[in-house]
């Protein structure tokens, strides 16, 4: 591209140089003089033919350069532009597809949210039921254990109380027997023991 611009600039510069004359400045200052000079210039320039030849060569060169460099350049440039346009279209199609998918997803989002809320609600209810059942089971166990412990403690207390009462009763009885037992009664007890021994033998 830069090369082409350079060539075109040089061509314009050459063309301008070719058509430029020293009297142009004065002609610009005076219109009539200019017309007269132009007439005399067109009619009497002996180098006009060569100028045209020169111009033709120049144009031919320029044409050659245009055909050799410019056409492939513009063709390549056109192909690149077409390719870019194609890629842009493809990208646009992808973006459109994505946008459509996102829109579709967004449109289904409320449904999904509702489904998720329903699932979460069902799960919470299930968990609540499970916890409720577990709590009830634990309560039953604790109650049963507590009842057993209470029963055991009551049984033990009853046994201790019974033992204590029995000890008190026996101590009381021992004291009374000791205080009221006469020697004859003591001998009688020994005699009863002897009779018991006889019974054991028999």
Partner 1 sequence: MSLAVASRYSRALAEVVFGPQSKTKPEQVITELEAVIEAMAASPDLVRILRSPAVSLNQKRHLLEKLTAQMGGSEVTANLLKVVSDHGRITILKEIARSFQSVVDERHGVARAEITTAQPIAPEQKTQLEAALGRLSGKQILATYQQDDALIGGAVAKIGSLIYDGSVRGQLATLRRKLVNG
The residue assigned the tokens 């998720």 is 116
Query: Residues 41, 113: contact at Cβ < 8 Å?
Result: no
Within 125-164, which residues bind partner 1 (CB under 8 A)? 159, 162-163
Whole-number Å distance between alpha carbons of 98 and 100: 5
Whole-number Å distance between alpha carbons of 175 and 55: 162
Decide whether 2 or 190 has the Cβ nearer to partner 1. Answer: 190
Within 170-189, which residues bind partner 1 (CB under 8 A)? 170, 173-174, 177-178, 181, 183, 185-187, 189
Give the DSSP letter string of 8-25: HHHHHHHHHHHH--TTHH
> Considering the rule CB under 8 A, would residue 200 count as an interface residue with partner 1?
yes
Decide whether 75 or 176 has the Cβ nearer to partner 1. Answer: 176
Query: Residues 11, 76: contact at Cβ < 8 Å?
Result: no
Decide whether 95 or 181 has the Cβ nearer to partner 1. Answer: 181
Among 54, 91, 108, 167, binds partner 1 (CB under 8 A): 167
Stretch that binds partner 1, among 27-35, 38-46, 77-85, 192-200 (CB under 8 A): 192-200
The least CB distance from residue 147 to partner 1, in Å, is 22
What per-residue string of b and e applies to 98-132 under the rule 16 or more CB within 10 Å gives b? eeeeeeeeeeeeeeeeeeeeeeeeeeeeeeeeeee
> Considering the rule CB under 8 A, would residue 95 count as an interface residue with partner 1?
no
Interface residue list for partner 1 (CB under 8 A) = 159, 162-163, 165-167, 169-170, 173-174, 177-178, 181, 183, 185-187, 189-194, 196-198, 200-201
């Amino acid at each position: 591209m830069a090369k082409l611009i350079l060539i075109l600039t040089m061509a314009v510069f050459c063309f301008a140089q070719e058509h430029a004359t020293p009297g142009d400045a004065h002609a610009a200052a005076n219109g009539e003089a200019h017309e007269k000079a132009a007439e005399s210039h067109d009619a009497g320039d002996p180098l006009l033919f060569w100028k045209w030849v020169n111009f033709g060569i120049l144009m031919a060169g320029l044409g050659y350069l245009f055909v050799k460099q410019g056409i492939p350049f513009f063709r390549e440039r056109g192909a690149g532009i077409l390719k870019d346009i194609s890629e842009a279209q493809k990208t646009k199609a992808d973006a459109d597809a994505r946008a459509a998918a996102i829109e579709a997803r967004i449109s289904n989002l409320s449904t999904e949210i509702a489904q998720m809320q329903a699932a979460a609600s069902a799960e919470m209810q299930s968990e609540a039921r499970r916890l409720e059942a577990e709590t009830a089971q634990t309560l039953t166990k604790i109650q049963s254990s507590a009842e057993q412990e209470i029963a055991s403690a009551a049984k033990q207390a009853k046994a201790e109380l019974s033992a204590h009462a029995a000890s008190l009763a026996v101590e009381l009885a021992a004291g009374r027997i000791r205080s009221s037992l006469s020697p004859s009664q003591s001998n009688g007890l020994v005699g009863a023991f002897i009779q018991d021994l006889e019974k054991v033998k028999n």
